[in-house]
Structure 1
Amino acid sequence: MEFRYLGNSGLKISEITYGNWLTHGSQVENDVATQCVHAALDNGITTFDTADVYANTKAETVLGEALKGQRRESLEIFTKVYWPTGPGGPNDSGLSRKHIMESINGSLRRLQTDYVDLYQAHRFDTETPLEETMQAFADVVRQGKALYIGVSEWTADQIRAGHALAKDLGVQLVSSQPQYSMLWRVIEDEVVPTCRELGISQVVWSPIAQGVLTGKYLPGQPPPEGSRATDASGGADMIKRFMDDDVLTRVQDLKPVADDLGLSMAQLAIAWVLQNDNVATALVGASRPEQVHDNVKAAGVKIPAEAMERIDEALGSIVETDPGKTAENAPKRRPS
Structure 2
Amino acid sequence: MEFRNLGGMKISAISYGNWLTHGSQVEEDTAVLCVQRALEEGITTFDTADVYANTAAETVLGKALAGQRREGLEIFTKVYWPTGPGQHNDHGLSRKHIMESIDASLRRLGTDYVDLYQAHRYDYETPLEETMEAFADVVRSGKAHYIGVSEWRAEEIRAAHALARELHIPLVSNQPQYNMLWRVIEAEVVPTCAELGIQQIVWSPIGQGALTGKYRPGEQPPAGSRATDDKGGAGMISRWMADDILERVQRLVPVAEQAGLSMAQMAIAWTLQNPNVSSAIIGASRPDQVSENVKAAGVVLEAEVMEAIDLALGEVVEADPAKTQSPAKRDF
**TM value normalised by structure 2:** 0.99
What one-letter code is carried by the residue in structure 1 that aligns with 2:234?
Answer: A
Structure 2: state its 5+ residue gaps.
Answer: none
Q: Tell me, yes or no, if the aligned pair for 1:274 and 1:281 is still in contact at 8 Å.
A: yes
What one-letter code is carried by the residue in structure 1 that aligns with 2:83?
Answer: T
Matched with 2:2 is 2
Q: Alignment partner of 2:172: what SS?
A: strand
- Residues 275-303 of structure 1 show CA distances to partners (whole Å, capped at 9, x for unaligned) of 00000000000000000000000000000
Between the aligned partners of 1:80 and 1:150, the Cα distance in structure 2 is 9
Matched with 1:41 is 39
Q: Alignment partner of 1:203: what SS?
A: strand
2:318 counterpart of 1:333: no
What one-letter code is carried by the residue in structure 1 that aligns with 2:3?
Answer: F
How many equivalent pairs are there? 332
Between the aligned partners of 1:72 and 1:234, the Cα distance in structure 2 is 29
Q: Which runs of 4+ in 1 moved over 4 A?
A: none
Between the aligned partners of 1:143 and 1:217, the Cα distance in structure 2 is 48
1:89-168 maps to which residues of 2 (within 5 A)?
A: 89-168=87-166
Between the aligned partners of 2:214 and 2:98, the Cα distance in structure 1 is 40
Q: Alignment partner of 1:174: what SS?
A: strand
Q: Tell me, yes or no, if the aligned pair for 2:228 and 2:234 is still in contact at 8 Å.
A: yes
Matched with 1:312 is 310
Between the aligned partners of 1:302 and 1:234, the Cα distance in structure 2 is 31
2:210 counterpart of 1:216: no
Between the aligned partners of 2:111 and 2:257, the Cα distance in structure 1 is 42
Between the aligned partners of 2:120 and 2:296, the Cα distance in structure 1 is 26
Give the aligned CA root-mean-square deviation in angstroms.
0.7
Between the aligned partners of 1:301 and 1:262, the Cα distance in structure 2 is 11
Say which of 217, 238, 241 aligns to 1:240. 238
C-alpha displacement of 1:146? 0.1
Structure 1: state its 5+ residue gaps.
Answer: none
Q: Tell me, yes or no, if the aligned pair for 1:217 and 1:224 is still in contact at 8 Å.
A: yes
Q: Alignment partner of 2:324: what SS?
A: helix
What one-letter code is carried by the residue in structure 2 that aligns with 1:269?
Answer: A
Q: Tell me, yes or no, if the aligned pair for 1:63 and 1:111 is still in contact at 8 Å.
A: yes
Between the aligned partners of 1:152 and 1:228, the Cα distance in structure 2 is 23
C-alpha displacement of 1:232? 2.2
Q: Alignment partner of 1:94: what SS?
A: coil
Q: Tell me, yes or no, if the aligned pair for 1:93 and 1:335 is still in contact at 8 Å.
A: no
Between the aligned partners of 2:214 and 2:99, the Cα distance in structure 1 is 42
Matched with 1:86 is 84
C-alpha displacement of 1:335? 4.1
Between the aligned partners of 2:19 and 2:246, the Cα distance in structure 1 is 24
Q: Alignment partner of 2:284: what SS?
A: coil
Matched with 1:303 is 301
Matched with 1:281 is 279
Matched with 2:290 is 292
**TM value normalised by structure 1:** 0.98
Moved more, 223-232 or 23-32: 223-232
